Amino acid sequence: MKSGRQVGAIRRPAPLAVLAGVIAFGWLCLALPGHAQVSANFQSENSRAQRDRGPATSLPDSGRYVSETGQGFILDRSNTGTLMRFDRSTEVWVLRPSPAPRGDVIFRNDAGDQVLRVTPNGGMTLYTTAAPQGAPVSMAGPAPELLAPTLTAFQLMDFILRQSDRATRAVGELVVVDMDIQPGSEAVATDALSTAVDAIVRMARSPSLRGDVARVRRIIITDVGSRQVSFSRGTLRIVIDPDAGFAGRPSSARIVRVISETQ
């Protein structure tokens, strides 16, 4: 059992016409040098945790790619794992390879969705909601490594409050955000919160999913227990694994599926 846990409460006055969430976030008073070390540890742990030992043939190089539909994205395999981020998006996807017929390799997200398919000769196809049948992809050039952002304690506090505002605006009702984590879990926890709110915003914009996400009233992020995501009685609960880097939290696709499939 972990020790040294501190839980506090921070309330923010109503920002303009929107109320902010209540955040149980006592560890924000940690010294700033500690947060810099946390970021460095997160990057190191992410490198270690993302080493998926999938098929060794035809794996794409790191770089920026563009599909025939114009969708661009960064693929980062610099740490042996496979990370992906679409243009104009902040979410980093963790892709896992698996063998397919004819020697192809399929890369899927944690919700099981096919995202990329690579042929033995290196041809790549991207699958998205806009191109469910797939669109050919070509490399456009080099791209930077995908790393977690480095935030000070005060920046973290402001970030979490703004995410609470985003969720509240999307749902139309007060969304409370609670965090119960140990020092050292900050990077994965804030990434998990950002990803969860991205999922909520996307659902709120979808006519078919708006009713499901309207039930969300609380987001809980903790590092206690086995990694999972669940939704019950208006509470979205995410248990993170701080040692697994980007793979230590669910993707927005996984969160959307959990909320929409829970009655």
Residue 227 has pLDDT above 60, yes or no: yes
Q: Which of 58, 65, 62 is nearest to 139 (CA)?
A: 65
Q: pLDDT tens for residues 82-141?
A: 999 999 999 999 999 999 999 999 999 999 999 999 999 889 999 998 899 999 999 999
- Decide: residue 252, CB within 10 A, 0-12 exposed, 13-18 middle, 19+ buried: buried
Query: Which contacts of 11-19 are long-range, i.e. CB under 8 A and separated by 24 or more positions?
Result: 12/161, 12/164, 15/165, 18/165, 18/168, 18/169, 19/168, 19/174
Average pLDDT, the chain: 82
Residue 67 phi/psi, 5-degree rounding, is -90, 170
Q: What is the pLDDT of residue 26?
A: 42
Position 121, amino acid: N
Domains and CATH numbers, the chain: 26-30+151-261 (no CATH), 51-141 (2.40.128)
pTM for this entry = 0.76
Q: How much is the average pLDDT of 14-25?
A: 38
Inter-residue contact 240 to 249 (CB < 8 Å): yes
Q: How much is the average pLDDT of 18-22?
A: 38
- Residue whose structure tokens are 């944690």: 110
